[in-house]
């Protein structure tokens, strides 16, 4: 029988009935308690809300057989323990304002859900009384007196024993243990003032797998120490402090230098009003902020905290509260992008210390290559010979510079003016140049004074404390790119008029949304006009992009507008073109440079933002202190 031929009368009617409390709790548990780590998250959050200063988490068999959370918070009076096991019972909100959420757990579902699928025992003390309550499969036992000095102990045994089918969907003990560890570490980042201890108590003597003592002092100092303990000292050494405010939203935390990047997004942590979240809006903003300094296969490392009035963010859009929704998503995204870009620009030519450590590791006899920093390999060849780069056009009709400006053009050894733009000069078959004449003042600069060029690709400079090796192509590529961006910001994007406007059809709502942002897009060289109901005429496109298909571009922009309330698609494409132009317009590998040119390059690097890494996230230089050099020769 065809689907259309099916009649409602063919389906038997089922009477509407109220589910019993046990079934309701098991259904709720399926939403709240996905795995042992979910139970740990709920119980630790309850301990934090209780004002605990120290929290201990014990587990066995990846949390499947035992989870025990002990805290020194204010506890629960014995008379309220049965009420704490009922659904939608909580002390954290009064129900009058569901937007003013100041705590982690506010639904009152965690404890009854855990009691519905496992064997739960709560021992708590409040004031001068302590009591214990046991729950098995949703069945409560009477409250009994207990001996406890302070706080609460929640013990969950045999998780999912009442719903054994769910045990089949759990992963190995090792995977579940890793998930528990990740949950505890995220909460430890969110609360530096609280001490955390994580112990494996299964199979022999208890083993501490993670410990973080309470941190005191300034917020940033405490957070830096906590992050160093969790993410490693290298992250703390190479991270930039972030503190920015915009229209009532504040962003704090730490973001690593681009040269301290990762091969996957495993070191990205976001918190909204102290709550650990995995929010795609913030993830996208972080990626956009590093777009200029990282290649697509590298990922930034950061721990970022957004704080705002609770009424401006909805934390109740996900059962596990791992996602949030901002009332003004464009504002939140813009704050993250601008704050991170500003911090990266202020870092100037600074590069990650792991680059030097990797060099030292590679230089040690029989040492394994360092895995801490694995930069993408350049696509170019060191033997690649290039002709003089052609200056790009397209900003205001004028030719953009590819080398130093006239004011910065260095002079040659014979006093003649060196050609602007590092014009290609064929090197002699064999020549040993005298080192450039330098002064103590030259060596006092952060990047020192040039002493020579090796393999016609690397500049060796002496500093007051050691030496610096500079990749001349990568460094000049960043300098040219920054100049091109400055020209783009000053003159805007030149638009090219289409001989025949491209007509693109959308739904009426989508067309109206695009036209509402037409003024912003026109500043980027994309001119849109209405052309009837649901139809848009594309009159001009950015000249830098050349011939493009307007329809796919508009759909990408529309997707971002729906998702984030703003779009960076077009700007990102223009930046990508500028980056390619900078790569082709910079001094190439194999180019012999004079001493004045090398020193001029070093001085400009010191005053150019982001010059510590090229457009692809690779380091532009490596520094070695005298101590590092002495270690290489066994002097230390």
pLDDT digits (tens, 9 = 90+) for 42-98: 899 989 988 999 999 999 999 999 999 999 999 999 988 988 888 766 666 655 555
pLDDT of residue 364: 56
Tens of pLDDT along 370-402?
444 444 443 333 223 333 333 333 333 333 333
Tens of pLDDT along 598-614?
999 999 998 888 888 88
pLDDT of residue 84: 85
CB 526 within 8 A of CB 540: yes
Give the list of residues 6+ apart from residue 83 with CB closer than 8 angstroms, or none. Answer: 89
Report which secondary-structure segment, H or E, holds 186: helix 173-190
pLDDT of residue 421: 44
Q: What angle do CA 448, 449, 450 make, to 5 degrees?
A: 125
Q: What angle do CA 426, 398, 596 make, to 5 degrees?
A: 35
Of 33-47, 196-210, 484-498, which gets the smallest average pLDDT?
484-498
pLDDT of residue 436: 59
Answer yes or no: is pLDDT of 205 > 70.
Answer: yes
* Mean residue pLDDT across the chain: 79
pLDDT of residue 437: 60
CB 300 within 8 A of CB 341: no
Report which secondary-structure segment, H or E, holds 344: helix 329-346
- Give the integer Cα–Cα distance in Å for 289 and 295: 12
The token pair that represents 590 in the structure block: 């194999």
pLDDT of residue 357: 58
Quick one: 87 exposed, middle or buried, by C-beta within 10 A (0-12, 13-18, 19+)? middle
- Give the integer Cα–Cα distance in Å for 87 and 448: 67
pLDDT of residue 247: 93
CB 615 within 8 A of CB 583: yes
**Phi-psi label, residue 617: left if phi above 0, alpha if psi -120 to 50, beta otherwise:** left
pLDDT confidence band for 245 (50 / 70 / 90): very high
pLDDT of residue 404: 40
Tens of pLDDT along 324-336?
889 898 899 999 9
Q: Provide the sign of the torsion angle of the four alpha carbons 405, 407, 411, 417, taken in this order.
A: positive
Longest distance between any two alpha carbons in the chain, whole Å: 101
The token pair that represents 129 in the structure block: 């009384």
Q: Residue with structure tokens 């040219």?
A: 480
Answer yes or no: is pLDDT of 427 > 90.
Answer: no
DSSP 67: E
Answer yes or no: is pLDDT of 212 > 90.
Answer: yes
Count CB atoms within 10 A of the CB of residue 18.
7
Tens of pLDDT along 540-579?
988 877 787 888 889 888 887 877 666 767 777 777 777 7
The token pair that represents 96 in the structure block: 């009058």
- Give the integer Cα–Cα distance in Å for 403 and 390: 11
pLDDT of residue 430: 37
Q: Report the pLDDT averaged over residues 513-529.
A: 88
Percent over 90 (pLDDT), the chain? 31
Answer yes or no: is pLDDT of 635 > 90.
Answer: no
Length of the chain: 636
pLDDT of residue 371: 41
- Give the integer Cα–Cα distance in Å for 138 and 161: 11
pLDDT confidence band for 250 (50 / 70 / 90): very high
Q: Report the pLDDT averaged over residues 25-52.
A: 82
pLDDT of residue 196: 97
Q: Report the pLDDT averaged over residues 257-270.
A: 89
Q: Report the pLDDT averaged over residues 256-265.
A: 87
Q: Report the pLDDT averaged over residues 476-485.
A: 84
Answer yes or no: is pLDDT of 110 > 50.
Answer: yes
pLDDT confidence band for 481 (50 / 70 / 90): confident
Tens of pLDDT along 430-450?
334 555 565 556 667 888 899
The token pair that represents 408 in the structure block: 């910065």
The token pair that represents 113 in the structure block: 């859900």
- Of 27-31, 53-57, 423-427, which one has max mean pLDDT? 53-57
- Give the integer Cα–Cα distance in Å for 547 and 553: 12
Tens of pLDDT along 131-182?
999 998 778 899 999 999 999 999 999 988 777 777 888 889 999 999 999 9
pLDDT of residue 370: 42
């Amino acid at each position: 029988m065809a689907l259309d031929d099916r009649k409602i009368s063919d389906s038997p009617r089922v009477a509407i009935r109220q589910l019993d409390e046990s079934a309701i709790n098991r259904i709720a548990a399926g939403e709240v308690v996905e795995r042992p780590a979910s139970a740990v998250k709920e119980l630790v959050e309850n301990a934090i809300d209780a004002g605990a200063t120290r929290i201990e988490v014990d587990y066995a068999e990846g949390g499947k057989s035992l989870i025990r959370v002990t805290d020194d918070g204010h506890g629960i009076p014995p008379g309220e323990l049965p009420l704490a096991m009922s659904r939608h019972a909580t002390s954290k909100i009064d129900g009058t304002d569901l937007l003013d959420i100041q705590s982690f757990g506010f639904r009152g579902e965690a404890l009854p859900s855990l009691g519905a699928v496992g064997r739960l025992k709560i021992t708590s003390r409040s004031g001068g009384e302590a009591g214990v309550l046991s729950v098995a499969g949703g069945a409560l036992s009477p409250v009994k007196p207990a001996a406890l000095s302070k706080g609460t102990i929640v013990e969950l045994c045999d998780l999912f024993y009442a719903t054994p089918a769910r045990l089949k969907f759990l992963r190995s003990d090792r995977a579940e243990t890793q998930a528990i560890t990740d949950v505890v570490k995220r909460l430890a980042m969110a609360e530096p003032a609280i001490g955390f201890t994580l112990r494996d108590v299964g199979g022999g003597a208890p083993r501490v797998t993670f410990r973080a003592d309470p941190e005191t002092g300034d917020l940033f100092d405490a957070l830096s120490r906590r992050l160093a303990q969790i993410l490693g000292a290298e992250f703390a050494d190479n991270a930039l402090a972030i503190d920015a405010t915009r229209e009532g939203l504040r962003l704090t935390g730490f973001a690593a230098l681009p040269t301290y990047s990762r091969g996957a997004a495993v070191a990205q942590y976001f918190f909204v009003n102290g709550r650990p979240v995995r929010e795609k809006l913030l993830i996208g903003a972080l990626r956009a902020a590093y777009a200029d300094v990282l290649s697509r296969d590298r990922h930034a490392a950061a721990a970022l905290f957004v704080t705002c009035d609770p009424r401006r963010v909805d934390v109740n859009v996900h059962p596990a509260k791992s996602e949030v929704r901002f009332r003004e998503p464009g504002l939140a995204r813009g704050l993250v992008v601008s704050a991170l870009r500003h911090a990266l620009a202020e870092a100037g030519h600074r590069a990650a210390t792991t680059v030097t450590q990797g060099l030292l590791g590679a230089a040690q006899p029989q040492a394994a290559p360092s895995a801490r920093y694995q930069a993408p390999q350049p696509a170019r060849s060191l033997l690649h010979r290039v002709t003089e780069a052609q200056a790009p056009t397209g900003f205001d009709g004028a030719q953009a510079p590819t080398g130093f400006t006239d004011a910065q053009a260095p002079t040659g050894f014979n006093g003649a003016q060196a050609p602007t733009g590092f014009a290609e000069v064929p090197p002699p078959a064999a020549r040993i140049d005298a080192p450039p004449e330098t002064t103590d003042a030259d060596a006092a600069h952060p990047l020192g004074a040039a002493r020579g060029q090796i393999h016609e690709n690397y500049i060796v400079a002496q500093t007051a404390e050691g030496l610096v090796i500079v990749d001349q192509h990568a460094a000049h590529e960043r300098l040219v790119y920054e100049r091109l961006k400055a020209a783009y910001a000053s003159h805007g994007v030149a638009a090219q008029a289409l001989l025949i406007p491209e007509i693109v059809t959308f739904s009426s709502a989508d067309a109206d949304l695009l036209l509402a942002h037409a003024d912003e897009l026109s500043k980027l060289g994309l001119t849109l006009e209405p052309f009837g109901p649901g139809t848009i005429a594309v009159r001009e496109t950015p000249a830098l992009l050349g011939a493009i298909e307007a329809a796919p571009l508009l759909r990408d922009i529309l997707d971002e507008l729906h998702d984030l309330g703003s779009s960076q698609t077009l700007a990102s494409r223009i930046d990508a073109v500028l980056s390619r132009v900078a790569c082709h317009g910079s001094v190439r590998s194999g180019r012999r440079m004079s001493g004045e040119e090398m020193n001029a390059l070093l001085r400009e690097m010191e005053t150019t933002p982001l010059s510590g890494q090229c457009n692809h996230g690779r380091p532009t230089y490596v520094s070695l202190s005298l101590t590092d050099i002495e270690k290489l020769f066994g002097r230390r």
